[in-house]
């Protein structure tokens, strides 16, 4: 089945380290997103991309960067991790060509802990 | 700015009772309103959605209503079952600039047998 996958699923790192979270999808979707989830704050958009040449900041992009290496791959980097970036990170995709739905399909999530 | 408020943050009901979750949004141009369910340790998944040209949509035990004038929409779950226990997120599709979904903070629903 077409799916959205994320690696790693869990990561513990130290303050100041560079971290990359990767997202791949086999759905053939053009649009990809990175969210972080914190208790009581819901899902907040970090960055999103509508195609390989398109990158846009979301609500909370400070301290993060992204790279859209291919239609199927969208990676999120923390250049210098800090403890308040400890969260659950989700990648999501949606289909530009679908007029019936703006549904987003989520990956399984990456739990990141910054000590 | 773009904002979606969701209430309540937690909801506890007895099995068989109904549950209602409410959301308000800030952008009157929003035209798509999905609801996602996230079970413990799982990814969010779409359970129902509604577009701005429709006032109500129903799918078995779940329904969503939309009041465009008041800019609020609600999720209704009838005859709740323990497997309905999860976190539910509403969202609104903001079309200004680049199209994107803004999510509410979530409601943790607990259904007690």
Helix (H) or strand (E) holding B73: strand B72-77
Minimal Cβ distance to A106: which of B44, B93, B105: B44
Band (pLDDT 50/70/90 cuts) for residue B28 is confident
pLDDT in tens, A90-111: 999 998 666 556 789 999 999 9
B99 inside 8 A of chain A by CB: yes
The secondary structure of residue A97, as a DSSP letter, is T
Our CA-based measurement puts residue B46 at a distance from the nearest CA of chain A, in whole angstroms, of 7
pLDDT of residue A11: 97
pLDDT of residue B94: 78
B57 inside 8 A of chain A by CB: no
pLDDT in tens, B29-70: 888 999 999 999 999 999 999 988 889 999 999 999 999 999
Our CA-based measurement puts residue B82 at a distance from the nearest CA of chain A, in whole angstroms, of 22
Q: Which chain A residues are within 8 Å of B49, Cβ to Cβ? A: 101-103
Q: For residues A37-56, b (16+ Cβ closer than 10 Å) or e, as one string? A: beeeebbbbbbbbbeeeebe
B107 inside 8 A of chain A by CB: no
Q: Would you call A66 helix, strand, or coil by DSSP?
A: strand
> A85 to each of A12, A13, A14, A79, B32, how far by Cα in Å?
11, 11, 11, 11, 30
């Amino acid at each position: 089945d077409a799916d959205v996958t994320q690696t790693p699923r869990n990561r513990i790192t130290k303050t100041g380290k560079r971290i990359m979270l990767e997202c791949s999808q086999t759905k053939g979707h053009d649009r990809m997103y990175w969210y972080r989830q914190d208790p009581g704050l819901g899902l907040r958009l970090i960055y999103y991309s509508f195609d390989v040449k398109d990158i846009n900041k979301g609500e909370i992009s400070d301290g993060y960067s992204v790279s859209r290496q291919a239609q199927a791959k969208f990676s999120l980097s923390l250049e210098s991790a800090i403890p308040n970036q400890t969260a659950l990170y989700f990648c999501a995709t949606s289909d530009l060509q679908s007029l019936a739905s703006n549904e987003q399909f989520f990956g399984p999530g990456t739990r990141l802990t910054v000590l | 700015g773009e904002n979606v408020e969701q209430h309540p943050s937690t909801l506890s009901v007895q099995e068989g009772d109904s549950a209602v979750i409410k959301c308000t949004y800030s952008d009157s141009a929003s035209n798509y309103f999905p609801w996602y369910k996230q079970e413990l340790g799982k990814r969010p998944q779409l359970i129902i959605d509604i577009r701005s040209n429709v006032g109500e949509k129903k799918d078995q035990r779940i329904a969503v209503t939309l009041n465009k004038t008041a800019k609020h929409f609600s999720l209704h779950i009838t005859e709740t079952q323990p497997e309905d226990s999860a976190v539910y997120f509403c969202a609104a599709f903001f079309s200004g600039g680049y199209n994107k979904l803004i999510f509410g903070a979530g409601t943790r629903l607990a259904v007690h047998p």
